[in-house]
């Protein structure tokens, strides 16, 4: 029993794409990235945590909210 090689990782990734689809996996990855980013900002204790970011205003207008 050795370490996991690139071929095993490729097989697992292909199975995940077939089972869940590319869009669902992309959404899950995006959500995970946002969660990690928010966690880091919370741990850092940013004083700007309550202020909207530059992209938040553009997204709010684009979504009609």
Angle at 33 between CA 30 and CA 34, to 5 degrees: 90
Per-residue pLDDT of the chain (65 residues; tens, 9 = 90+): 678 899 999 999 899 989 989 899 899 999 999 999 999 999 887 656 556 666 655 555 555 55
Beta carbons within 10 angstroms of residue 20's beta carbon = 13
Asked whether 63 and 55 are in contact (CB, 8 A), the reply is: no
Residue 4 DSSP code: -
pTM of the model: 0.49
Q: Are 28 and 19 in contact (CB under 8 A)?
A: no
For the chain, the first-to-last Cα distance in angstroms comes to: 54
């Amino acid at each position: 029993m050795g370490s996991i090689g690139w071929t095993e990782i490729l097989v697992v990734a292909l199975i995940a794409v077939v089972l869940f689809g590319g869009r669902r996996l992309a959404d899950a990855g995006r959500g995970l990235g946002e969660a990690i980013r928010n966690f880091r900002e919370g741990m850092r204790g940013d004083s700007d945590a309550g202020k909207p970011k530059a992209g938040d205003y553009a997204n709010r207008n684009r979504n009609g909210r």
